[in-house]
Structure 1
Amino acid sequence: MSLHIGLYRPEIPPNTGNIARLCVALGAELHIVGEAAFDLSEKAARRAGLDYWDKVKISFHSSLEEYKAALPSDTCLYLVSVFGTCSYTSVSYKKGDAFLFGNETSGVPAEIKKSWNEDRILKIPMEDSSRCLNLSNSVAVISYEAMRQIKSW
């Protein structure tokens, strides 16, 4: 896999659907960490008209520890947060890097952020008057920057 995209307890089905489609386009693996707030079964995806769902490489993990254990040992795992100190553009990405994005209403829990290496907490710079970006937009921005560095299209 070129990248690993982790979503921590996603809450909004259209965001996860958009991110799944993005993962197909990038050849990335989608990881659902913790329980999603909605049905992610193949039957539910078909009912929602997600005709690409069978092309998504998706893994489910009950915990962050399980997600980390599923990644190759040389993978660099980044947390993405509006409270990050490192701009996503200042990182040199490599094939197989992984990301963890928080859910739409509360992000990643504070205890996870506290335990994370600060230079691996990424942010997307934005105006102070803006609270945050939509989750699927954030995943797209960071994933395409990583892919721009990894691949030549």
Structure 2
Amino acid sequence: MHGLETLCRQLNPRFPFTYTFSDEAYQNLYRNEQVISKLSHAFSFLAIFISCLGLLGLVMFTTGQRAKEIGIRKVLGASVTGIVRLISADFLKLVFVAILLASPLAWWMMNWWLDDYAYRISLNLWMFVWAGALAILITICTISFQALRAALANPATSLKTE
């Protein structure tokens, strides 16, 4: 650096010697994208957490409303897996519909966002399949505790209450 500075002063003494590294210049160009990435991760986690709380509340409400039905099914010989499947099926159908509606919209929005870049990735089907599978897994984990609790409850107590 010192040699470049002396050469610059010899050739053009009126202008100060300034320099920048190209990696710093590229870093400054993509700083906004890095901030957006961090914010997206934080708000995505928050949205998933709030959605899970809402889903848990809905499952608790549904199992409370269907307590007598679940008790009658248990008295008539329904298995725990059958009752869990019965409770989970309604919610998983809604998640499948949400995936089918959200995937094309997400594909369109991601293509629109990526059009601004000279070097971009191509969107593949496996990305959306992975996201859908993750949504289903999160749904199953959220529902399973309350569904098992309702399936293992004593049917006499649920039939006794008014």
Range of TM-score over shorter length: under 0.3
More helix by share: 2
Tell me which of the two structures has the higher relative contact order, counting C-alpha pairs closer than 8 angstroms and 6 or more residues apart. 2
More strand by share: 1
| Normalised TM-score (structure 2) | 0.21
